[in-house]
């Protein structure tokens, strides 16, 4: 995968055009939509590797678009918001976004976020080597009770049922499952998954909550993913 397809979903044409210029200068293929409905049509016809999505849009907003995308696709989504309230950022992460950036933003900051997300996505997908490749069941499969994580196929299952995780959620769960019983502070999780210095670990909290809702029968009384209050998170040894 030498060239990435990036979808900009933004109803303000000036902003969409400016972001398109930044991305094309970096060698990316760019697709544009001015509302979520147009964007869904593009996603269904084109292989998209990352999307930059505004929250407030007519016809279909960014929140609804992200929820619909997450029903079928795992490519990274970066939310754009004109608001700085924490509630918008948390909502975006809760419904499946991977990152957020607040308007007005600096072009270099946006490009850094895009490049970072694409690096993670590429590693996560392993460029999907080819369906002809036979992957053996080996040490890269981690099992704890009915929870199974396959680090080769990037699949997670609970009691034999496949669970859909985003690339970031998969990396967090993999870190914890490879070290059962060990408590990881949110700062360490952030630095090991995002490969950046931890400034705000609220993102980790939101992703962990999303993982628990997907892998636990009762997320309020979890069997696998536990919070050690004031310390961090761990996968329980079973």
Q: Which domains does the chain have, with CATH numbers?
A: 5-126 (3.40.50.2300), 141-235 (1.10.10.10)
pLDDT band at 87 (very low <50, low <70, confident <90, very high): low
Say yes or no to pLDDT of 135 above 80. Answer: no
Angle among Cα 224, 225, 231 to the nearest 5 degrees reads 135
Say yes or no to pLDDT of 185 above 60. Answer: yes
Q: How far apart are the first and last CA of the chain?
A: 40
Best CA proximity match to 142, nearest among 131, 129, 154: 154
Say yes or no to pLDDT of 20 above 70. Answer: yes
Both structure tokens of 159: 């009691």
pLDDT at residue 132, as a whole number:
36
Say yes or no to pLDDT of 1 above 80. Answer: no
Q: What is the mean pLDDT of residues 160-166?
A: 89
Say yes or no to pLDDT of 161 above 70. Answer: yes
Q: Are the CB atoms for 146 and 163 separated by under 8 Å?
A: no
Both structure tokens of 228: 């050690």
Residue partners of 148: CB distance under 8 A and separation at least 6:
141, 142, 156, 157, 158
Q: What is the mean pLDDT of residues 165-176?
A: 93
Say yes or no to pLDDT of 131 above 60. Answer: no
In angstroms, rounded to a whole number, what is the distance separating the alpha carbons of residues 90 and 99?
10
pLDDT band at 86 (very low <50, low <70, confident <90, very high): low
pLDDT at residue 130, as a whole number:
40
Say yes or no to pLDDT of 88 above 70. Answer: no
Q: What are phi and psi of 161, to 5 degrees?
A: -100, 125
pTM tops 0.85: no
pLDDT at residue 139, as a whole number:
65
Both structure tokens of 108: 């270099």
Say yes or no to pLDDT of 223 above 70. Answer: yes
């Amino acid at each position: 995968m030498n060239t990435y397809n990036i979808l900009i979903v933004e109803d303000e044409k000036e902003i969409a055009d400016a972001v398109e210029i930044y991305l094309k200068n970096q060698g990316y293929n760019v697709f544009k939509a001015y509302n979520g409905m147009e964007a869904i049509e593009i996603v269904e016809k084109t292989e998209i590797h990352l999307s930059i999505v505004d929250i407030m849009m007519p016809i279909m907003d960014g929140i609804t678009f992200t929820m619909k995308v997450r029903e079928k696709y795992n490519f990274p989504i970066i939310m754009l918001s004109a608001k700085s309230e924490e509630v918008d950022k948390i909502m975006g992460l809760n419904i499946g976004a991977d990152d957020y950036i607040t308007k007005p933003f600096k072009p270099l900051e946006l490009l850094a976020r895009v490049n970072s997300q694409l690096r993670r996505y590429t590693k996560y997908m392993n460029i999907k080597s080819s369906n002809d490749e036979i992957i053996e069941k080996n040490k890269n499969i981690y099992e704890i009770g009915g929870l199974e994580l396959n680090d080769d196929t990037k699949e997670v299952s609970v009691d034999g049922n496949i669970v859909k995780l985003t690339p970031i959620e998969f990396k967090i769960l993999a870190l914890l499952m490879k070290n059962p019983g060990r408590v990881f502070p949110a700062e360490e999780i952030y630095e090991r998954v995002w490969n950046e210095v931890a400034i705000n670990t609220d993102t980790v909290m939101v992703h962990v909550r999303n993982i628990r809702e997907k892998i636990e029968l009762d997320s309020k009384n979890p069997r696998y993913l536990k919070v050690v209050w004031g310390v961090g998170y761990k996968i329980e040894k079973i």
